[in-house]
Amino acid sequence: MSTLTRTDKEFADLSQKDKVASLRLVDLPSLPALLMEALQYTDTVGDQSLTNLADKIGQDPPMVIRILRITNSPFFGMSREISSLRQAIVLLGLNRVRNMLLGVCFSKMLPVRHKDFDYPLFWHHSMAVADCARQLATYTGIGQDIAFTAGLLHDIGRLIIVFLFPDDFSRIINEPHPDRVETERRIIGSDHMEIGGKAARHWNLPVAIQEAIEQHETPPEQGDAISLGLLIYTANLLIIEAEQGDDSGLERQEAIANVLEFLDISIDQATHWANTGRQFADQIVAIL
């Protein structure tokens, strides 16, 4: 499978700062045709939509296998084995199948190999944030699907940095400076939020998702409205806290307390959503 491609001579001649500024010169892959066509059938409900969706996914046997494996995973607790793709779609629902398609397609679309980059861990974190954001959305009134997509893609800029600047990525990872974003800016002239936002614009994703990617490490200010960006910022903090466990920093704990107070959400409820998100990620990443 191909990864990101580039106009090699033109891109190689650019300075590092110009490479970031001219990210449009990098030929990012298009969204998979299967994903784009299949997602059309998840916008409506009905027997015909289910049939169309099953037919479209059925054109990609490996995708069928993945969805059936996910459906039969312990996370969903089916009482019997599901062997029919259409039955899986009926039982899981169009929205959940849509989210599965997003997760599987994006994880296969940008495979990156690098000695300092833990690819499964990256997608585990992304999936966990996506599911946590989806659950937060049910409380805040923001759409669950757009919250899941934004959560899934919030760190996509890191993946692009690994590909564009593999040597500098190693420098960033191995820097003792605790502020990874500041290190990114100092070493490559930009950060993963800005680069991820550029990629989202390239894919013509909704503006709200572009902004959420760019804002997912930006804490709210007094007077701010609840937004998709704030939702992803919150989900990302909660998942990082759950991943770090007892080694978590006081600064992050204070940030979590502030944003949960802002959203009027209890720490117990937020912790439950974070743990559920990580359980979801455990099941999905194991099957990807």
Answer yes or no: do 148 and 69 share one domain.
no
Lowest mean per-residue pLDDT among 37-46, 148-157, 212-221, 239-248: 37-46
Mean pLDDT within 76-82: 81
Is 4 part of any domain? no
Read off the tokens for 222: 């007094």
Axis crossing angle, helix 94-109 with helix 47-58, rounded to the nearest 10:
20
Angle between helices 94-109 and 33-40 (to 10 degrees): 170
Q: Are residues 129 and 262 in the same domain?
A: yes
Looking at per-residue pLDDT, the higher value among 171 and 77 belongs to 171
Last residue of a domain, one of 109, 131, 165: 109
Q: Look at residues 84, 109, 134 and tell me which one is the last residue of a structural domain.
A: 109
Say how many domains are in the chain. 2
Cα gap 242→109, rounded to integer Å: 27
Question: For the domain that residue 216 is a member of, what is the CATH number?
Answer: 1.10.3210.10
Residue 9 lies in a domain: no
Does 22 reside within a domain?
A: no
185 domain-assigned? yes
Ramachandran class of 248: left when φ > 0, alpha when ψ lies in -120 to 50, beta otherwise: beta
Cross-strand partners of 5: 27
Average pLDDT value for residue range 216-241: 92
67-76, 121-130, 132-141, 161-170: least confidently modelled range: 67-76
Q: Which helix (H) or strand (E) holds 182?
A: helix 180-188
Residues 152 and 273 in one domain: yes
DSSP string, 219-246: ---TTPPP-HHHHHHHHHHHHHHHHHGG
Residue 149 has pLDDT above 60, yes or no: yes
Type of residue at 54: A
Domain end: 74, 109, 144, which one?
A: 109
Return the minimum-mean-pLDDT range out of 97-101, 218-222, 253-257.
Answer: 97-101
Q: Are residues 66 and 123 in the same domain?
A: no
Q: What is the pLDDT of residue 43?
A: 58
223 and 85, same domain (yes or no): no
User: Is 270 a domain residue?
Assistant: yes
Same-domain pairing of 70 and 178:
no
Q: Are residues 180 and 271 in the same domain?
A: yes
> Kind and range of the H or E element at 180?
helix 180-188
Predicted local distance difference test score (pLDDT) of residue 85:
87
> Do 184 and 85 share a structural domain?
no
* Same domain as 191, residue 64: no
Per-residue model confidence (pLDDT) at position 6? 46
Residue 234 resides in a domain: yes
Q: Does residue 8 lie within any of the structural domains?
A: no
Q: Are residues 153 and 270 in the same domain?
A: yes
Residue 236 included in any domain = yes
203 and 123 inside one domain:
yes
Q: Is the pLDDT of residue 4 over 50?
A: no
pTM of the shown model: 0.82
Provide the residue range defining the domain that includes 125.
113-287
Verify that 271 and 245 share a domain, yes or no: yes
